[in-house]
Structure 1
Amino acid sequence: MGLRALFTFFSIAFSSFPNIAQNITDSVDVNQPKYKRIYPNVITARVFFINTSNTLKVKDRSSNLSFNLEPNKQDRIGVSIAFRGLNASFSFAPDFLGENKDNENSKLFNLNFRTFLGKHFMQTFDLFSQKGFYIKNNEVNQYFPKTKNFKIGGATSYIFNEHFSFKAITSQDEKQLKSTGSFIPNITYFYSKFNLKNNSPLNEVNSSYYSFDIAFAPSYYYNYVPSKNLLLSAGVSAGIGLNHSKSRDESPLTTLLTELSFRTSATYDMNNLYCGLHYSYLSLNHNADSASQVIDNIPFFNIFVGYRFKAPKQIINTAESINEKLKLKN
């Protein structure tokens, strides 16, 4: 996974921050309620290492036969920027990370986007585009370099407890001061398209499959603050919904969908400098056709280091104008 290069990368990043990490908080508009501290006029930026993928497991419902469609995984580094609940990130796969060196002709593009509307609503958006998959089971391990997968979707969530800070977990433009949790119901939805293709003249394969998932998934998250600068967070959700899918050789099928996900994270916050890690796992389970079942898995691992900067006045004034028009509060 290129850990030596990864640790070198973050050591350089850490060493460049302490000299400028002092006395900036005093110049920033900071609210200090009992449960969380809000930084309304700062831009939070981070650099990160990420490992994520979208893997499918296909099982025959009448036997124990199954196989995995695993992408040629890549380690990635990237940057993200957040301001007043708007959070966007971009990452790429450099060749100097060890796991990327044998990924000939494979590609992975992943885009994450998150925004908060008012005190309670949260909207997330995810996009995966992958090329290059292994088909694996106990007997087969074959690489299909031209096989592609595309997935787009997200979730609309409602955070019941306004004292609970999801921003303290994801974007660090808030800081949780006191331990608390919240019930968070979610509506999740994904569109996926999978093209299984291999141009081998001896064993030509060319098939396609698409699906649409929608589910209602209640969840509970808890932020634990054991000390002034440390935040530990965990959450789990379980949901039920519908999947509509179709393959080239089968009629369209609508079946029951189950969803299970969990997230855990740790963040260390020192003045305006922060660092941490996240791990999450999403699993969607449904029937793909009359004979098979699909388990759609999205693991996500992230290590990051970041810094809070005072936002320019022009950006602050624009945000205030938009809030007034939409009647939103920070």
Structure 2
Amino acid sequence: MGIKNPFFICFWIISSTLVAQESVQDSLQQEQYIQKFPDKITGRLFYINTYNSFEFSSRQTEETVSLTPNKQNKIGAKVSFRGLSLSYSFAPDFMAENKDNDDSRLFNIGLRGYFGNWMQNLELYSEKGFYVENDMNQVYLPRTKSFKIGGSTGYIFNQNFSFRAITNQDEKQLRSAGTFLPQLIYYYTNYKIRGTGGGGQEIDEKYHSVDIAISPGYYYNWVPTINLLLSAGGSAGIGVNFSDGSDSESLTSMLYDLNFRGAINYDFSDFYAGAQYSYLILNHNTDRSTYTEDNIPYFQAFIGYRFDAPKKVLDISDDVNEKIDSIKN
């Protein structure tokens, strides 16, 4: 024992030193790729166009019917601080596409957070007023509604890749980097189709749907110059869908998802501007004779600024982080 103890102590000291050096090296390496703004609040104003639409295809007749909300252009604001972000948008009447918003609604709110390498996204869509369209005609149903809530949980494998530089701008990508990014995607959707059809018949149908999928993907941030960022990536996955309609039996079917994302940012000092686009597609069966394509296109153009966070906000954030660390330990 007298020999083993000194050996163990030396081994422990050497191992701890190597781990500490590796941690410092990893931190220094990450600083070469990502500039962080831990003491700044990132705010932006944006224009946004997004909605949730559906396309139903009959397996028997090959007829396709689309259910598209009364589209609206929106403006809004977003605030991010230390990995958490909150956004809100609304549709002003002065925009051209919003002139026919009477008796219709398109509400969307999103929340995104980052916890180490983990990324959490939550979003909500509430829509009222839809166009039902097939090859023959188009009918507007002002009483038709839909509601969707859900999001995704993902893990960023490459610590030198910044997803925040794409979505929140509370970090800046300094050098090009890519990452494998698997995600768990989950949504709950219900829609109520109500109104008078083209032949004068009354329509009153209700559907509920739950989507769960595992979606691996890859994203790449290209930095051609120090102030310009071009980003692109996508994911494809498989999962399960649970559907239940008022006029059909409950059904469990295979779910396929596709998600594409692209972005361009110009970042100079604390000022930044850019645009991003994404498209999420969820494919599944609604019943045994109907195949459904659930679509969420998203476009945003923005301009923003990073400003120093008030000392009180920093103190509260530090206290919360200390409490979290104490619980972990």
Please say whether Structure 1 and Structure 2 have the same fold, judged by a TM-score greater than 0.5: yes
CA deviation profile, 1:60-114 (whole Å, cap 9, x unmatched): 1133211100100000000000000101100000011100002221101000100
CA deviation profile, 1:144-187 (whole Å, cap 9, x unmatched): 00000000000000000011001100111100000000001000
CA deviation profile, 1:245-303 (whole Å, cap 9, x unmatched): 00001111000000001000000001101000000000000011010000000000000
More helix by share: 2
Alignment of 1:1-330 (within 5 A): 33-118=31-116, 120-198=117-195, 202-327=200-325
Instruction: State the distance in 2 between where 1:32 and 1:194 align.
Output: 45
293-302 or 55-64: bigger deviation: 55-64
Instruction: State the distance in 1 between where 2:289 and 2:255 align.
Output: 16
- How far the C-alpha of 1:325 sits from its partner, in A, is 1.8
Instruction: State the distance in 1 between where 2:60 and 2:317 align.
Output: 57
Q: Do the aligned partners of residues 32 and 271 (structure 1) sit closer, same or farther apart at CA in structure 2, a change above 3 Å counting?
A: farther
Instruction: State the distance in 1 between where 2:30 and 2:62 align.
Output: 57
Instruction: State the distance in 1 between where 2:109 and 2:59 align.
Output: 34
Instruction: State the distance in 2 between where 1:74 and 1:32 align.
Output: 41
Instruction: State the distance in 2 between where 1:279 and 1:44 align.
Output: 20
Higher gyration radius (CA)? 2
Instruction: State the distance in 1 between where 2:163 and 2:30 align.
Output: 17
- How far the C-alpha of 1:199 sits from its partner, in A, is 5.7
Secondary structure at the aligned position of 1:327 is classed as: helix
- How far the C-alpha of 1:218 sits from its partner, in A, is 0.2
Secondary structure at the aligned position of 2:38 is classed as: coil
Instruction: State the distance in 1 between where 2:325 and 2:156 align.
Output: 19
How many residues are treated as equivalent by the alignment?
298
Instruction: State the distance in 2 between where 1:172 and 1:225 align.
Output: 14
Q: 1:245, 1:252 within 8 Å by CA — same for their partners in 2?
A: yes
Q: Do the aligned partners of residues 147 and 32 (structure 1) sit closer, same or farther apart at CA in structure 2, a change above 3 Å counting?
A: same
Instruction: State the distance in 2 between where 1:138 and 1:239 align.
Output: 31
Secondary structure at the aligned position of 1:323 is classed as: helix
- How far the C-alpha of 1:32 sits from its partner, in A, is 8.3
- How far the C-alpha of 1:318 sits from its partner, in A, is 1.1
Instruction: State the distance in 2 between where 1:223 and 1:54 align.
Output: 27
Q: Do the aligned partners of residues 32 and 308 (structure 1) sit closer, same or farther apart at CA in structure 2, a change above 3 Å counting?
A: farther
Q: Could you list the runs of 5+ residues in structure 1 that have no partner in the other structure?
A: 1-30
Instruction: State the distance in 2 between where 1:212 and 1:274 align.
Output: 38
Instruction: State the distance in 1 between where 2:196 and 2:64 align.
Output: 23
Instruction: State the distance in 2 between where 1:57 and 1:234 align.
Output: 26
CA deviation profile, 1:298-321 (whole Å, cap 9, x unmatched): 000000000001001111111111
Secondary structure at the aligned position of 1:288 is classed as: strand
Instruction: State the distance in 1 between where 2:142 and 2:214 align.
Output: 35
Instruction: State the distance in 1 between where 2:86 and 2:103 align.
Output: 27
Secondary structure at the aligned position of 2:32 is classed as: coil
Secondary structure at the aligned position of 1:197 is classed as: strand
Q: 1:133, 1:148 within 8 Å by CA — same for their partners in 2?
A: yes
Q: 2:30, 2:159 within 8 Å by CA — same for their partners in 1?
A: no
Instruction: State the distance in 2 between where 1:56 and 1:295 align.
Output: 6
* Sequence identity percentage: 49
Q: Could you list the runs of 5+ residues in structure 2 that have no partner in the other structure?
A: 1-28
- Matched to 1:259, the amino acid is D
Q: 1:32, 1:38 within 8 Å by CA — same for their partners in 2?
A: no
| TM-score, with structure 1 as normaliser | 0.88
Instruction: State the distance in 2 between where 1:231 and 1:194 align.
Output: 39
Secondary structure at the aligned position of 1:314 is classed as: helix
- Matched to 1:34, the amino acid is Q
- Matched to 1:68, the amino acid is S
Q: 2:50, 2:299 within 8 Å by CA — same for their partners in 1?
A: yes
Instruction: State the distance in 1 between where 2:63 and 2:266 align.
Output: 45
